[in-house]
Amino acid sequence: MPSYTGEVEPDGDWQDRQDGPVKIRKLAVEEMNNNVYVIACARTAQALLVDVAARPARIAEALADVEPVAAVQTHGHWDHVRAWDGVRDDLGIPVWGHSGDAALFPRPVDRELHDGATLTVGDLEVRVIHLPGHTEGSLLYLVHGDERPHLFSGDTLFPGGPGNTFGSPENHARIMDGLEEKIFGALPDDTWVYPGHGNDTTLGAERPNLQEWRDRGW
């Protein structure tokens, strides 16, 4: 298996990595460089798809060697939901997400997810973390491998800072409070972060910048 870098091109080759029982696939689609992830159990091949961003045919290719349990949404912005009908209707995969983004979703979710829920995927336990700020219903997903935790952060955390809160001081405070309490205050530095766009990072690489992010706003 080629070395995993986390650098993928829109509609280019995906990258795979494995950490004990956890297998992860990363691909990017469309002009906004949306990342789509597959979290799979190495033993059973059961899997979650993270974000129905776009290109359902490409997503179907990325799921060909696994058994998807569901697609889970990080949030409801338009660039993360364009393949909803193709995934839900054509591939028959239910879509799950948080009710806080119901007004953004193109259709009702098949299952509402809540903070602290555990999703069983084969031998894996994927924890749901609700962290509003970028949107009201933004969710992150955490799974532990043998070597490190793996965090799928959507548009809530990127290399270089939190997701856009569109000039709202209240939402910026909420996203920073949530990141400091639920993410940086709870997880180790070697936690690998898989964002909704662009390259990956780790919590250790970002931790020194927390106060700067809080002070600058967005």
Tell me which residue of 176, 192, 194 sits closest to 34, measured CA to CA: 194
Low-confidence ranges of the chain (pLDDT < 70): 1
Any alpha helices (H) in the chain, and if so which ranges?
Answer: 56-62, 84-85, 169-178, 203-206, 210-216
Q: Select the CATH number that applies to the domain covering 15-216 from these four: 3.30.590.10, 3.60.15.10, 3.30.360.10, 3.40.50.1400.
A: 3.60.15.10
Is pTM beyond 0.95? Reply is: yes
Quote the tokens at residue 105. 């979703």
Give the pLDDT confidence score for residue 202 in this predicted structure.
Answer: 98
pLDDT of residue 217: 80
Tell me the C-alpha distance between 21 and 13, whole Å: 23
What integer pLDDT is reported at residue 11 of this predicted model?
A: 87
pLDDT tens sequence across 47-80: 999 999 999 999 999 999 999 999 999 999 999 9
Tell me the C-alpha to C-alpha distance, in Å, between residue 32 and each of 47, 49, 139: 25, 19, 20
Residues forming beta bridges with residue 25, ordered by sequence position: 16, 38
What is the share, in percent, of the chain residues with pLDDT greater than 90?
96
pLDDT for residue 213? 97
Tell me the CA distances in angstroms from 129 to 1, 59, 136, 164, one per residue in order: 31, 24, 13, 18
DSSP state at residue 19: E
> Which two three-digit tokens encode residue 162?
């939190």
Phi/psi class of residue 114: alpha, beta or left (left: φ > 0; alpha: ψ in -120 to 50)? Answer: beta
Closest CA to 192 of 214, 160, 159: 159
Domain extents for the chain?
15-216
